[in-house]
């Protein structure tokens, strides 16, 4: 069984989102990563991690702001091999973001799922 990693939420206004999660939901910032054109803010919500995902041009989505769910894995290459054996198509090549190697794929309902390996 994979350990649940985090819930990714698309943020239209990252500063407003950080303030809301801190002041209203009493979350604490764990990590704040900036990359060209994007910012990722990880927050502790009582043992569950929420990742606020801001990308230039984010707009409010009609289906809601949940971007993805993530699971921590020990060996990303092994997990990718298993996904491919099951006929599951990746949504792109694995990439390194900070201290993680990640890859996305879709679940049976179109939900985006991320596997993340700490490096």
pLDDT values of the chain reduced to their tens digit, one per residue, 119 residues: 788 889 998 888 899 999 989 987 889 999 999 989 999 999 998 899 999 999 888 777 666 778 788 889 999 999 999 999 999 999 999 999 989 999 999 886 678 889 999 99
Cα dist. 4→1, 18, 24, 34, 104 in Å? Answer: 9, 22, 24, 23, 15
pTM exceeds 0.75: no
- Both 3 and 25 in a single domain? yes
- Both 62 and 77 in a single domain? no
The CA distance from 114 to 91, in Å, is 10
Q: How many domains does the chain fold into?
A: 2
3-state percent helix, strand, coil for the chain, nearest multiple of 5: 15, 50, 35
Domain hosting 86: range is 73-119
**Do residues 105 and 91 touch, judged by C-beta distance below 8 A?**
yes
- Both 63 and 78 in a single domain? no
| Pairing label, strands 100-106, 112-118 | antiparallel
Over residues 62-75, the pLDDT tens digits come to 667 787 888 899 99
């Amino acid at each position: 069984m994979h350990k649940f990693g985090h819930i990714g939420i698309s943020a239209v206004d990252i500063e407003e989102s950080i303030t809301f999660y801190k002041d209203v939901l009493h979350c604490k910032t764990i990590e704040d990563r900036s990359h060209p054109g994007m910012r990722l803010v990880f927050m502790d919500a009582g043992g569950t991690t929420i990742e606020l995902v801001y990308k230039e041009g984010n707009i409010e989505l009609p289906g809601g702001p949940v971007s993805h769910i993530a699971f921590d894995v020990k060996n990303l290459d092994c997990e990718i091999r298993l996904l491919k054996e099951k006929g599951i198509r990746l949504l792109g090549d694995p990439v390194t973001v900070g201290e993680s190697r990640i890859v996305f794929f879709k679940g049976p309902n179109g939900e985006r799922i991320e596997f993340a390996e700490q490096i």
